[in-house]
Amino acid sequence: MTIRCTGKIRDVVGTGTLEYRYEGDTIREPLEAFFEEYAVEALLIARTKDEAAAPGWAPAPKRLPGTWRATPEGEQTKPFARVLVNGIFNEHFEGLDTPLIDGDRVALM
């Protein structure tokens, strides 16, 4: 898969684009391997609800409308950080359980 990196993530990785070979069927497996190789997990992944929210954001409703659901704690991105699969935030798919296929593009922003 192609991984594109921006901002501080690009600074740590040392390039804006790289080809990355991975094991597994979802975004979770290659991200875990990528985080072991490059120390960028702390820049992207929020481990608690407090890390996932920026100060001043409106509180989330107790019940989300329609088919919306909250991303599980520990799998959310930090404020202003995102993981995209083929240009779409992974939260709009299945979070870290989003399936990947050959040729997918992942962006770490």
Could you read off the pLDDT of 13-42 as tens digits, one per residue?
999 999 988 888 999 999 999 999 999 999
- Residue 59: inside a domain: no
Residue 75 zone, left/alpha/beta (φ > 0; ψ -120 to 50; rest)? alpha
Cα–Cα distance list, 19 to 2, 15, 25, 56 (Å): 5, 11, 17, 38
Residue 63 lies in a domain: no
| pLDDT for 59 | 75
Does residue 68 carry a pLDDT above 90? no
pLDDT at 62: 79
Residues 6 or more apart from 82 whose CB is under 8 A from it? 89, 90, 107, 108, 109
What is the residue range of 28's domain?
Answer: 2-54+69-108
Query: Number of folded domains in the chain?
Result: 1
pLDDT of residue 3 exceeding 90, the answer is yes
The answer as to whether 49 is a domain residue is: yes
**Residue 43 DSSP class:** H
For residue 79, give the CATH number of its domain: 3.10.20.30
pTM of the model as a whole: 0.81
Q: What is the pLDDT of residue 76?
A: 84
Q: What's the pLDDT at 38? A: 96
